[in-house]
Amino acid sequence: MEKVFGGWQKQPNRLNIQGEIEKAIGEITGEEIELIASGRTDSGVHSLGQTANFKTNNENIPIEKFPIAINSKLKKSIVIKSAEEVTQKFHSRYSVKSKKYRYIVNNSSMGTAIYRDLEYHFPIKLDENKMSEAIKYFEGEHDFSGFKASGTSSKSSVRTIYKAEVLKKENDRIYIELTGNGFLYNMVRIIAGTMIEVGIGKIKPCEIPEIIESKDRKRARKNFATIWTIFS
Amino acid sequence: MEKVFGGWQKQPNRLNIQGEIEKAIGEITGEEIELIASGRTDSGVHSLGQTANFKTNNENIPIEKFPIAINSKLKKSIVIKSAEEVTQKFHSRYSVKSKKYRYIVNNSSMGTAIYRDLEYHFPIKLDENKMSEAIKYFEGEHDFSGFKASGTSSKSSVRTIYKAEVLKKENDRIYIELTGNGFLYNMVRIIAGTMIEVGIGKIKPCEIPEIIESKDRKRARKNFATIWTIFS
């Protein structure tokens, strides 16, 4: 079994996705390349469709052969799904049109052993109708100052959420899904935690607009104090 | 990260499910107990609903508290979902009414990193209609001599399959599902491998009855030679 990744971003003493892929591409092209990802996922976040770009002068390997070539050099915990040539202007982070995040809550009494690293087990019965009602208030353009981790360096806290949904799935799973043009540091997990508080009745759906508008990190902190434990 | 289990059955030098749960129950009841499972799953098989019974003289812990108590002593890779009192006659293995096995084939070109231990990646496009047609021939009572690993000690090779299905799922997944009164050693994986050979056109659906009836392990071996590589 392999060690857990410390997230996407390159860091000296911890296994990371960026470093592993850069090394693999380097072995193939013989160049020192730099990978730019659409989002620098934290440790514990699993990507189903991360996009990353790099520049290469290599002309020996046809572009469609890159995934197989890179995968042959990678650990099995990282898989390149496809590759295509893009214009020089393309930049994975700045060219992003939308990003989608999914939080999986296992709402069964005991959770599972098999999927334990892929979902959050919360044994108290959640009211997904209330959660569905509440999450709709996050859609649109808002200043999400109250929903970011302290110490965030982003210039603006304004983000647009195109779609926000709570989906009831088989086997007591609840998916919390957010699609937007970008997310602040820890914003998704703070919203997911808020949804859980709505699900247990601690926050009413109608209170959400007021919480967003307050832009008050302290207020958010107070309301969402448990989140950090939940998702740490 | 934890080491991989060597299967259900107790064995001296390898992590196993039975041993871990017996130890956890022992810590709670103070007794040396023996767990009887409905099926002794091999290494690499994940159970969603294994049933196991044990005898105890313990009267201090109410039965409904057992799962939480046992889980508190277990690694996170094993979860007890529920517990109930049964009659002295109940025997997990002999009282079984039916068992259901699922083989998940990931038929995408590159597979996934995240679910790699839970599914078999087969990149060549499979014809699931042919597979669906072929698997129906396994339903009913048959002598499955041609579908068991050599060296199997079972007295009879006759088993009844109540339901056999190939299901097309999202994201290029194909589920091969078999429900029956029991399965011979390696029988499920040999049938799954046969289905893959049907899916790539190497075996025609109409050939299945003849292959089953031949009861010829050598013939099966010849046809299903790749299975051992596939599922090893």
Q: What is the pLDDT of residue A3?
A: 56
Chain mean pLDDT for chain B: 88
Q: What is the pLDDT of residue A215?
A: 86
Is residue A77 less than 8 Å (CB to CB) from chain B? yes
**DSSP states of A168-215:** EETTTEEEEEEEES---TTHHHHHHHHHHHHHTTSS-GGGHHHHHHH-
Contact A110 B76 (CB under 8 A): no
Considering the entire predicted model, what is its pTM? 0.86
Which of A17, A41, A46, A79 is the best substitution to test chain B (most B C-beta atoms within 10 A)? Answer: A79
Contact A71 B112 (CB under 8 A): no
Q: In the predicted model, is pLDDT for residue B224 greater than 70?
A: no
More confident residue, B219 or B112: B112
pLDDT band, residue B221 (cuts 50/70/90) = very low
pLDDT band, residue A223 (cuts 50/70/90) = very low
Q: Give this complex's ipTM.
A: 0.81
> Which residue from A minimizes the CA distance to B2?
A1
Q: What is the pLDDT of residue A227?
A: 33
List, in sequence order, the alpha helices (H) in A112-168: 128-135
Q: In the predicted model, is pLDDT for residue B227 greater than 60?
A: no
pLDDT tens digits, residue range A201-211? 999 999 999 99
A125 CB neighbour count, 10 Å cutoff: 12
Q: Look up residue B120 and give its DSSP letter.
A: E
Q: Give the residue-averaged pLDDT of A3-18.
A: 89
For residue A80, the chain B residues in CB contact (below 8 A) are 110
pLDDT tens digits, residue range A93-145? 999 999 999 999 999 999 999 998 889 999 999 999 999 999 999 999 999 99
pLDDT tens digits, residue range B129-139? 999 999 999 99
Q: Which residues of B are catalytic?
A: 42
Distance from CA of B165 to the nearest CA of A (A): 19
At B192, which helix (H) or strand (E)?
helix B187-199
A230 CB neighbour count, 10 Å cutoff: 16
Distance from CA of A99 to the nearest CA of B (A): 19
Q: What is the pLDDT of residue A101?
A: 92
**Beta-strand runs (E) in chain B:** 36-37, 52-53, 99-106, 120-121, 140-143, 158-169, 173-180
Radius of gyration of chain B (CA): 20
Lowest-pLDDT choice from A91-100, A146-155, A174-183, B42-51: A146-155
Candidates B189, B196, B225; CA nearest to B41 is B189
For residue B112, the chain A residues in CB contact (below 8 A) are 48, 79
Residue A42 a catalytic site member: yes
Q: What are phi and psi of A223, to 5 degrees?
A: -65, -35
pLDDT band, residue A220 (cuts 50/70/90) = low
Contact B113 A67 (CB under 8 A): no
Residues 6+ apart with CB under 8 A from A178: A100, A101, A138, A161, A163, A164, A188, A191
Cβ pairs A/B, distance under 8 A: 49
- The residue with tokens 């069964």 is A108
For residue A50, the chain B residues in CB contact (below 8 A) are none
**DSSP states of A14-28:** S--HHHHHHHHHHHH
Q: In the predicted model, is pLDDT for residue A21 greater than 60?
A: yes
CA distances (Å), origin A182, targets A81, A129, A159: 23, 26, 6
Tokens for B92? 């997990």
Strands B158-169 and B140-143: antiparallel
> Which residue from B minimizes the CA distance to A112?
B79
